[in-house]
Structure 1
Amino acid sequence: MSTEQHHVSWESVKNKIMHKWKKFEDSDIESMKEDLGMLSEKLQSLYSYPKSKADQEMKEFRTTLEEKPKHH
């Protein structure tokens, strides 16, 4: 999944990842730039999450990328 599909800047995605998961280093995130689907594998590796939990975390994270900003 590319970030273009969501019309979200890579910097925004990167910042959200770093904010949500503190163990990610810049190089970890950059390695996912072309394929955000790798997030599940990275979560399993860095956080020792079982695949099901990592997949759920990735799914929830993708949902946050699709949300439109709320205007008051």
Structure 2
Amino acid sequence: MATKVVATATVRAVKKRLLPTRAALTLTPSAVIRIKSLLQDREECIGLRIGVRQRGCNGLSYTLDYAKNKGKHSS
């Protein structure tokens, strides 16, 4: 009894990073000036960490913290 192969396929895993198509956050020039002035007062901080948290029953809220080191997912 002979068997017939109809089709074969080779699957290969590819690690490709998706690049964002636009900026996740846009700052106005006055916001940039304000953030720079806030960071000048805290020399131990390297930046401002912005996040989103789920709060209460109505959804999400933004959080702002001073960053003292660069995290794993920071850019």
Query: Normalising by the residue count of structure 1, what TM-score does the alignment of the two structures yield?
Result: 0.26
Structure (1 or 2) with the larger CA radius of gyration: 2
Q: Which has the higher strand share?
A: 2
Q: Which has the higher contact order (CA 8 A, sep 6+)?
A: 1
Q: Which has the higher helix share?
A: 1
Query: Normalising by the residue count of structure 2, what TM-score does the alignment of the two structures yield?
Result: 0.25
